[in-house]
Amino acid sequence: MAKMSGSARGLETRKKRTISICLEEDCCVQENDELKSGKEEMGGEREENEERLKMKDYQSLQLRFFDILRREAAEKVIADSSNSHDETEEPELLSLCLGRSPRDPKKETRIGNTAKHKESEDLEACLTLGLDSNCELSMEMVSDQSPGETKEADIEGTWQSNKSVKAKNGEDHEISEQIPAKKSRVSVRARCDTPTMSDGCQWRKYGQKIAKGNPCPRAYYRCTVAPACPVRKQVQRCAEDMSILITTYEGTHNHPLPVSATAMASTTSAAASMLLSGSSTSQPVDNSFASFTNAPRLLNGQNLGPFDLSRSKEVFFPNRDSPLFPTITLDLTSGSSSSTHVNNLLPSSFALNPRFPPTSLSFCSKEPNIQQAVWGNGVLNNERTHMRSVELGTQFQQQLHQNCLQNQAPPSQEALAETLTRAISTDPRLRSVIAAAVSSIVGQGSTNVNQARGGEILELGLNLKLGEHSQFASSNLLAQNGKGCLPGYFNRLSSNSYTGNFMPLQPPVPFSVSKRKVPPTISDQINH
DNA sequence: CGCCTTTGACCTGCGC
DNA sequence: GCGCAGGTCAAAGGCG
């Protein structure tokens, strides 16, 4: 379309230019000739463009059609194989379905077992929704970002309030007006002894509920760093494993973040950016599984290969628990049954309910040494640890894991550095994630950064994917100021042997401890 | 005194 | 329409 209007505009300009030249030269005959030839040219190009558009439409529709067929077939296979495990694996399913409701076994069962007769219907709906939502998302990203508005093309996951937020006061009303229909959530699973994960932000508890299917109450927190900050989080212990804390973030901070909070914000932001960048463009362009097809491939036409993070990503379609939220889950628990193997990024729930796989990014490793090296002690209790989850990315972890499987030994610093370098140089997604994380840190002084983060990250991602600014992302951004906090692993690398593109960066300020509830001793212990 | 948590009531959406 | 469940509100009370 843009092509057509562009060429038409070009022709018009040319025509105008021709006309003016002829007027100047008082050359009426020539003008007529030019006009005629211009018209002919225009007509020809219009036909060409129409033809091209038709072909494009046809090809796109054809691809979608084949894709639906493929998906149907694949899902039948998956459903068949999973049906036999439904009953025995249900508890596991519950612990795995982070994007979905672990509290609603009825629903799980319904989806897993009895909804089979509705499968084709649901599939259709799902696909339809997928296309719709994708469009919606892209639109949100591209066009809804008007300047000065706090419209969050929400990378971090935006506060969803279209359900039950009442416009009780002007503030709320204002917020609810800004909120787009579809938001993303970032859910973080982590082993944590403390009541909440310290993420650097100030939170105020505003409610608590016992959710169905989980004896542990779910606590609702609101960000209190700024009075009108729409960010909320839900904290709940996992029913199956009380040591696992599930923290779900919604919303984008509309205020500068404390340094100690940027890590978590970056993490959720980057994770959601991957989710949204993937879901925003799901039209298949090659023969791969449609649900695994997403942005990078579309952006540059390349397949990201076997480590593509997008393999584990999927728009999370409405369900009872999160009616409109695409949800991304960062699984940072060690030894969680869901995805202890980094090569198996697809959550097992995917097998049970292939239509609604939650987005799950597993940052777990079977190898305790790696876990130790990469994730500290495997407990996500501070933002430094958490930050790593996004910094390193899946590809890196997979390479790391592979290295370890091959070597049967903990990786050396050099090996880690090499792996990291390779991962960063070969995985545009990882670069974009890192860039996204850094960008949120670098720009923390400006509220606009938060507001426009979505677009920024997408843009960055695009640039990176196109390979134009990888240097910018991997070195400039990281070195842009000394305040950046790419901690942990990067620090170790830079302080020891690594002399690559990365500047040594200071670790973030030790995470702030919740004023009352979190015993400082625990936090300090973890920090140390 | 201000900030925070607790907790029961209320609102809303959804399924039956 | 009713009941259920998730989410939110706001009064009451605690703590530093």
Nucleic strand B within 7 A of Cβ A320: yes
In angstroms, rounded to a whole number, what is the distance separating the alpha carbons of residues A367 and A404?
8
Nucleic strand B within 7 A of Cβ A167: no
Q: Give per-residue pLDDT as tens, A474-494.
A: 333 333 333 333 333 333 333
Q: What is the pLDDT of residue A228?
A: 76
What average pLDDT does the segment A72-97 reach? 42
Segment A123-127 long-range contacts (CB within 8 Å, at least 24 positions apart) = A123/A68, A123/A71, A123/A72, A123/A75, A123/A355, A126/A317, A126/A355, A126/A356, A127/A68, A127/A71
Confidence band of A239 (pLDDT split at 50, 70, 90): confident
Asked if pLDDT for residue A513 goes beyond 80, the answer is: no
Asked if pLDDT for residue A329 goes beyond 60, the answer is: yes
Nucleic strand B within 7 A of Cβ A163: yes
Are the CB atoms for A253 and A225 separated by under 8 Å?
yes
**B4 C1' to A208 CA distance, Å:** 14
Q: Which of A79-83, A117-121, A268-272, A330-334 bottoms out in mean pLDDT, i.e. has the lowest?
A: A117-121
- In chain A, the percentage of residues whose pLDDT exceeds 70 is 18
Higher pLDDT, A286 or A251: A251
Taking all residues of chain A, what is their mean pLDDT, rounded to a whole number?
A: 48
In angstroms, rounded to a whole number, what is the distance separating the alpha carbons of residues A31 and A63?
47
Q: Give per-residue pLDDT as tens, A455-477.
A: 333 333 333 333 333 333 333 33
Q: What is the pLDDT of residue A190?
A: 82
In angstroms, rounded to a whole number, what is the distance separating the alpha carbons of residues A452 and A454?
5
What separation in angstroms does the CA of A304 have from each of A294, A300, A338, A359, A437? 10, 10, 24, 18, 21
In angstroms, rounded to a whole number, what is the distance separating the alpha carbons of residues A343 and A348?
13
Confidence band of A200 (pLDDT split at 50, 70, 90): confident
Q: Give per-residue pLDDT as tens, A402-441.
A: 544 444 444 444 444 455 455 545 555 555 555 554 444 3
Nucleic strand B within 7 A of Cβ A515: yes
In angstroms, rounded to a whole number, what is the distance separating the alpha carbons of residues A399 and A92?
27
**C11 C1' to A203 CA distance, Å:** 20
**Range from A54-63, A293-302, A431-440 that averages highest in pLDDT:** A54-63
**Amino acid, res. A197:** M
What average pLDDT does the segment A444-452 reach? 38
Q: Which of residues 387-446 of A touch strand B (CB under 7 A)?
A: none
Bases in strand B with any atom closer than 7 Å to a protein CB: 3-9, 11-16
Q: Cα A350–A405–A403 angle (5° rounding)?
A: 100
Asked if pLDDT for residue A326 goes beyond 60, the answer is: yes
Q: What is the pLDDT of residue A427?
A: 54
Asked if pLDDT for residue A510 goes beyond 50, the answer is: no
Asked if pLDDT for residue A261 goes beyond 60, the answer is: yes
Q: What is the pLDDT of residue A222?
A: 86
In angstroms, rounded to a whole number, what is the distance separating the alpha carbons of residues A157 and A184?
4
Are the CB atoms for A142 and A127 separated by under 8 Å?
no
SS3 content of chain A, % helix, strand, coil (to 5): 55, 10, 40
Q: What is the pLDDT of residue A254?
A: 78
Asked if pLDDT for residue A296 goes beyond 50, the answer is: no
Are the CB atoms for A236 and A102 separated by under 8 Å?
no
Q: CB within 8 A of A401, min separation 6: which ones?
A: A341, A342, A343, A365, A366, A367, A370
What separation in angstroms does the CA of A50 have from each of A5, A32, A180? 11, 26, 34
Are the CB atoms for A193 and A379 separated by under 8 Å?
yes
Q: What is the pLDDT of residue A198?
A: 73
**B2 C1' to A222 CA distance, Å:** 18
Candidates A202, A205, A206, A204; CA nearest to A257 is A202
Q: Give per-residue pLDDT as tens, A384-410.
A: 333 333 333 444 444 444 544 444 444
Write the DSSP assignment of A398-464 as a string of letters: HHHHHHHHHH-SPPPHHHHHHHHHHHHHH-HHHHHHHHHHHHHHHTTT-HHHHHTHHHHHHHHHHHH
What average pLDDT does the segment A292-298 reach? 30
Higher pLDDT, A254 or A104: A254
Q: What is the pLDDT of residue A504?
A: 30
What average pLDDT does the segment A236-250 reach? 84
**B2 C1' to A397 CA distance, Å:** 46
Distance of CA A63 to the CA centre of its chain: 25
Confidence band of A191 (pLDDT split at 50, 70, 90): confident
Higher pLDDT, A287 or A406: A406
Asked if pLDDT for residue A20 goes beyond 50, the answer is: no
Write the DSSP assignment of A114-129 as a string of letters: GGGGGHHHHHHHHHHH
Q: Which of residues 184-203 of A touch strand B (CB under 7 A)?
A: 202-203
Confidence band of A165 (pLDDT split at 50, 70, 90): very low
Q: What is the pLDDT of residue A31?
A: 53
Confidence band of A192 (pLDDT split at 50, 70, 90): confident
Q: What is the pLDDT of residue A54?
A: 59
Asked if pLDDT for residue A216 goes beyond 80, the answer is: yes
Residues across chain A: 528
What average pLDDT does the segment A317-335 reach? 56
Are the CB atoms for A324 and A133 separated by under 8 Å?
no
In angstroms, rounded to a whole number, what is the distance separating the alpha carbons of residues A84 and A113?
10
Strand C: which residues have Cβ below 7 Å from it? A 101, 103-104, 161, 163-166, 168, 172, 206-209, 211-213, 218, 220, 232, 234, 320-322, 516
Write the DSSP assignment of A162-228 as a string of letters: TTT----SHHHHHHHHH--S---EEEEEEE-SSSS---SS-EEEEEEEE-TT-SSEEEEEEE-SSTT
Candidates A249, A212, A222; CA nearest to A327 is A249
How buried is A147 (Cβ within 10 angstroms: 0-12 exposed, 13-18 middle, 19+ buried)? exposed
Helix H or strand E encompassing A63: helix A28-83
Q: What is the pLDDT of residue A150?
A: 36
Burial A180-204, CB ≥16 within 10 A → b, else e: bebbbbbbbbbbbebebbbbbbbbe
**Range from A264-278, A289-303, A355-369 that averages highest in pLDDT:** A264-278
Q: What is the pLDDT of residue A325?
A: 61
- In chain A, the percentage of residues whose pLDDT exceeds 90 is 0
